[in-house]
Amino acid sequence: MKLSNFNFNLPAELLAEFPAENRDEARLMVVNRKTQTIEHKLFKDILDYFDEGDVMVLNNTKVFPARLYGNKEKTGARIEVFLLRELNAEQRLWDVLVDPARKIRIGNKLYFGDDDSLVAEVIDNTTSRGRTLRFLYDGSYEEFRAKLLELGETPIPKYINREVTPEDAERYQTIYAKEEGAVAAPTAGLHFSKHLMKRLEIKGVEFAEVTLHVGLGTFNPVEVEDLSKHKMDSEEMIISQEACDVVNKAKLNKKRVCAIGTTTMRAMESSVSSSKTLNPFTGWTNKFIYPPYDFSVADCMVTNFHTPKSTLLMMISAFCGHDLMRKAYDEAIKEGYKFYSYGDAMLIL
């Protein structure tokens, strides 16, 4: 498989700028690998495809307000700073992306807040847009983090061509988000409502939670034709013993294990034993899944509709089979399914 196998034309009107009014009323395309069939449902109908003892594995990462706007010293130019990861809590060092990047050089200072209550100094260039910043702040670490939360805004995706609304902070977060650290939501999970999860619970469906802090590795474009040459950015992940016990018991009992989202799938595939059971893990993963690939844990998955040439689409192709994935995407475009973060969902059985 080459990069060109993952290109397709996506009409601009299919980019979802706003979510469905009710989380669980987005559209759901059900793709059956065994029968090679496609059904059209609503997300809340997912209930019909799962039975008692089946397990849904959720990524409980929580998006933090990672987008800041500051002004460059002397010129006052407005600079967007996107917080990627904390490198050193004590020294308040962060990996960030800056835009416009050409104006930001080592030694520059950036001022944030109407009262310039937070200052950052550029201490390194990491990539064309990447910089390392040292934040200069007098208060305690807790006060510094509170200041970041106060000044930051929810980083809704760049393609959404509108101002951030107060609703985005709540809506661009899964209802089970707990562990803060993601710069983007694990979007397949955005479709679950409290009511739907309650109904799944009543039916006997179990939930296991893993954590993968979504970083830019998930979204960085693939720019090499030979997929084996693409390098994923590392993202932090945690799989507890408790989650492993729930998943491995279901597998032992021949129950269905469903990965909710590509990040959940990647976390699980990053920590499996030779006997295809899930192992506890705390650390980082840069696993890149593309065809052909033999999946070890989940036997079905929920996902959104993804960008052409993205690593996410490549994983779907590996799981679904390339021809069936292309058929599903052609149908999605024909039927007007919404793509990307606030878009519709796909259940692959």
User: pLDDT digits over 163-177, tens only?
Assistant: 778 788 788 899 999
User: In the predicted model, what is the mean pLDDT of the chain?
Assistant: 93
**Are 228 and 294 found together in one domain?**
yes
CATH number at residue 71: 2.40.10.240
With bands split at pLDDT 50, 70 and 90, how would you rate the model's confidence at 179? Answer: very high
Per-range mean pLDDT, top range of 97-106, 159-168, 172-181, 208-217 = 172-181
Integer Cα distance of 38 and 29 in angstroms: 7
Pair (130, 236) in one structural domain? no
The alpha carbon torsion through 183, 81, 160, 303 (nearest 10 deg) reads -20
Q: What percent of the chain has pLDDT over 70?
A: 99
With CA atoms as reference, report the closest residue to 61 among 218, 211, 284: 211
Say yes or no: 74 and 217 in one domain: no
Q: CATH code at 338?
A: 3.40.1780.10
Provide the angle, in degrees to the nearest 10, between the axes of the packed helices 311-320 and 322-335. Answer: 120
Q: Mark whether 102 and 201 lie in a shared domain.
A: no
pLDDT at residue 134, as a whole number: 96
Among residues 121, 153, 185, which one ends one of the domains? 153
* Helix, strand or coil, per DSSP, at residue 126: coil
The pLDDT value recorded for residue 183 is: 85
pLDDT in tens, 9-52: 999 999 998 888 899 999 999 999 999 999 999 999 999 999 99
Report in angstroms the alpha-carbon separations of 294 from 32, 57, 290, 298, 327.
Answer: 18, 19, 10, 11, 21
On the question of pLDDT at 85 being above 90, the answer is: no
Strands (E), 73-192: 78-88, 93-99, 109-112, 118-125, 130-136, 179-182
pLDDT tops 70 at residue 217: no
Flag whether the pTM goes above 0.85: yes
- Split at pLDDT 50, 70, 90, the class of 268 is very high
Residues 289, 209, 332: CA angle, nearest 5 degrees? 50
Q: Structural domain of residue 343, as residue ranges? A: 3-63+169-348
Taking the C-alpha atoms of residue 120 and residue 300, their distance in angstroms, rounded to an integer, is 45
- pLDDT value, residue 166: 77
Fill in the amino acid letter for 133.
Answer: L
More confident residue, 215 or 316: 316
Q: Which residue in this structure is represented by tokens 């050409």? A: 102
pLDDT of residue 225: 95
- Give the count of domains, the chain: 2
**55-59 and 281-285 as β-strands: parallel, antiparallel, unpaired?**
unpaired
Q: Is residue 158 situated within a structural domain?
A: no
With the CA atoms of 82, 85, 297 and 57 taken in that order, what torsion angle do they form, in degrees rounded to the nearest 10? Answer: -70
pLDDT value of residue 223: 87
